[in-house]
Amino acid sequence: MPYSTTLLRMCVVGDVAVGKTSLTARFMNGTFCDMYKPTCLVSYFHKLVQTPDRNVFLQIWDTAGQERHRSLSPHIVRDSRSAMLVYDVTNRTSYEEVKRYWLGWIAEHAPPGIRLTLVGNKSDLDARSNLRQVSRKEAKRYAEANGMLFYETSAKTGKNVDVAFLDGGSFPMLKRTRTKSTRKPTHLAKSVL
Ligand SMILES: Nc1nc2c(ncn2[C@@H]2O[C@H](COP(=O)(O)OP(=O)(O)O)[C@@H](O)[C@H]2O)c(=O)[nH]1
Ligand SMILES: [Mg+2]
């Protein structure tokens, strides 16, 4: 039987500097960079993952630059099967902006039935007292009330990053593949449009 290929597209949105690029790089390449490099234009990351019965071509759209001006093109979410709404657990404003702006933006432009995941990133900073500005309980309750999955992640340590992308993207077959580690995912390319 021929080996089929499935394309799964996911987009990552949220305020500037919450860690969208870092999360994507951690998931796709297993890397983290402490230096802040604002993303130019929209970048998308590709990865081909082989499962026993097919190739799965992951395409993750990392929004860039335009998020500052609220000028993202709707096309990044229009063809996505899932979206990740990211805030920084140490930045209350970034959380309020998910509620005030990003969820509405997704609802306006996304296809019906899109799978949404609320992600509170930089959870590693919680270890330092007084930095946290959004409690886990509050964000979880908000996510549940709005039909979203919820994870707190750290792109820095890698905590919960894989599970947030795999569950959020609804990629259960990849999760099984990864868990068993029978076939290693192959990084194909990182492209900037
Ligand atoms: N401590 C910590 N810093 C992070 C984390 N994720 C990102 N950062 C830092 O936050 C800054 C902004 O990250 P970036 O991924 O460029 O944010 P973006 O603008 O949302 O794409 C960079 O200096 C990153 O190193 C994290 O999980 N923990
Ligand atoms: Mg970025």
Report which of residues 79 and 40 the model is more confident about: 79
- Residue 90 phi, psi (nearest 5): -100, 10
| The two three-digit tokens of residue 8, written as one number | 């799964």
Burial grade of 140 (CB within 10 A; 0-12, 13-18, 19 or more): middle
- Can you tell me the distance from the alpha carbon of 88 to that of 162, in angstroms, rounded to the nearest whole number? 18
Task: Provide the pLDDT for residue 187.
Answer: 33
- Contact yes or no for 23/60 (Cβ under 8 A): no
Residue bearing the CA closest to ligand 1, atom 3: 122
Share of the chain above pLDDT 90, in %: 45
Q: How far does the centroid of ligand 1 lie from the alpha carbon of residue 34, in Å? A: 7
- Contact yes or no for 10/174 (Cβ under 8 A): no
Using 50, 70 and 90 to split pLDDT, how confident is the model at 180? very low
Q: Which of 110, 99, 91, 77 is nearest to 146 (CA)?
A: 99
| The two three-digit tokens of residue 32, written as one number | 């983290």
Residue range 59-111, pLDDT digits in tens:
888 876 566 666 677 887 888 889 999 999 999 999 999 999 999 999 999 98
Query: Which one-letter DSSP state was computed for residue 104?
Result: H
- Can you tell me the distance from the alpha carbon of 44 to that of 51, in angstroms, rounded to the nearest whole number? 22
Write down the pTM of the prediction: 0.85
Query: Which one-letter DSSP state was computed for residue 80?
Result: -
- Residue 23 phi, psi (nearest 5): -65, -45
- From the CA of 23, the nearest ligand is 1
Share of the chain above pLDDT 70, in %: 76
Helix (H) or strand (E) holding 132: none
Residues with CB under 6 A from ligand 1: 16-22, 33-34, 36, 39, 121-122, 124-125, 154-156
Task: Provide the pLDDT for residue 56.
Answer: 79
Q: How far does the centroid of ligand 2 lie from the alpha carbon of residue 84, in Å? A: 13
